[in-house]
Each structure stands twice: as C-alpha cells, then as structure tokens.
Amino acid sequence: MAGAALPSLLLPLLGLAAAAVADCPSSTWVQFQDNCYIFLQKTIKVESIEDARNQCTDHGGDMISIHNEEENAFILDTLKKQWKGSDNILLGMFFDTDDESFKWFDKSNMTFGKWADQDDEEDLVDTCAYLHTTTGEWKKGNCEVSSVQGTLCKAANNHILISALVIASTVILTVLGAIIWFLYKRNLDSGFTTIFSTAPLSPYNDDCVLLVAEETKYAVQFD
C-alpha cells in the first residue's frame, strides 16, 4: 500500500516544482534556461539610460545581461522573429569610470563578451553597449540618446530558485517519510518485535518468582 501511495504523493509535488521553475513575472515573458525575457517594442523618449531601464524595472526585471554564447544566440534568434526596430539595441551595460571597466546594470558578473572589432576609445565616459540585431555582436556607443525604439528586459530569477529549493526539500522529506512508514508497516505485519514494542509485564518481580519456586519445592517434598 505504501509503495503504491508513494507515486501519488510525489506527482503533485513534482508538478509544483516544475511550475515554480517555470514561473515568470507574466505570460508575456519568454523563458530560456533559468531566466525570463521580454522584448518591449515601444518607442520612448529618454533623457538618460535610466529612462530605458525603468521600462524593465516597471515590469519586474532589469535591462538585459548576457553571459554565454547560447543566451546571446537565443536573444538574437528571437529578435530576428519579433523585432521591428533599428539594427542596434541597448544592452544593460555601462562603462564604470571608477573601475575603468564595463559592468551590467543588474550587477551580475561580466563573464562573457562578443565585442565587434572597433577602434580603441580614448574617452569612454557615458559609454554603453549595443547589440547588433543582424550579427549578434556588441558595439560601444553613447548612452545619451534622445529615444529608444524598444528595450530588452531580463527577469531576476532568485524567486524561481528559492521556490524550487523549497519544493525539492518537501519532496525529499515526503519520500523519506513514506519509506519510514513502509518499513514500519512491514515490520508490524510480520510480527517483528522492536525496542518500541510493548509486552505485558509480570505482576511479580524476580525475587517473588524465586520465592514461589522454593515454596513449591518444599510443598512437593512434604506431600
């Protein structure tokens, strides 16, 4: 019975785990690997890059960051199918003059780059990065633009990972509980006595048993 009940216990929990991993801020987002993406094809006037970034934060994410070739290829392929804007679109990247290095707005590590061949810039103040929607290469450009034709956004996935870990822990505990219950029932049905089994106690202690035995012995001798 316990063995048959185990799958019925696990299936709902596994379904919840899958739902948690697949959870995006809304149905308009597209999932790839462990992240969610949205392509906001809306032309807006901007006074700074923060205006473009606010388009993403208002939807529960941040401007896009890219960390491997597969992710870059996914974005490029999706843009080719959906995007109707210019050939260059802003990435969520800026040049930090304090550290003299490019950084992602979402504070993720800079682990990947796909820069096009460009002349070295002497002054990178107010420099951002752009994705070329045909080649997939990155280009350096001015952050100060008057308008953008669309924004690429990426959702933070911390809530997805936490939900998956919580449900995975629940599944593990359920499996362990089912195994323990199964072993307990099997031992109970086979009549196996454990240290937790109860047995009727004699109303006499050891001394009483010895005394009764001696009295019986003498009674037999006098008969």
pLDDT at residue 192 tops 60:
no
% pLDDT > 90, the chain: 39
pLDDT confidence tier of residue 6, bands split at 50, 70 and 90: very low
Q: Who wins on pLDDT, 181 or 172?
A: 172
CA 144 – CA 52 distance, rounded (Å): 11
Q: Is 21 exposed, middle or buried (0-12, 13-18, 19+ CB in 10 A)?
A: middle
Is 50 exceeded by the pLDDT of residue 63? yes
User: According to the model, what pLDDT value does residue 215 have?
Assistant: 54
pLDDT, average across residues 180-200: 61
**Number of alpha carbons in the 13 Å side-chain half-sphere of residue 49:** 22
The answer to which of 19-23, 96-100, 103-107 has the lowest mean pLDDT is 19-23
Between 200 and 32, residue with greater pLDDT: 32
Is the pLDDT assigned to residue 97 strictly greater than 60?
yes
**Lowest model confidence (mean pLDDT) among 33-37, 78-82, 149-153, 156-160:** 156-160
Look at residue 105 in the predicted model and tell me its pLDDT. Answer: 96
Angle between helices 2-21 and 158-189 (to 10 degrees): 180
For residue 80, what pLDDT is reported?
83
Q: What's the confidence (pLDDT) of residue 205?
A: 55
Q: Is the pLDDT of residue 89 over 80?
A: yes
Short-list 148, 152, 116, 154, CA closest to 135: 116
Q: How confident is the model over 121-126, as a mean pLDDT? A: 80
- State the Cα–Cα distance between residues 21 and 70, nearest whole angstrom: 19
The proportion of the chain whose per-residue pLDDT surpasses 70, expressed as a percent, equals 65
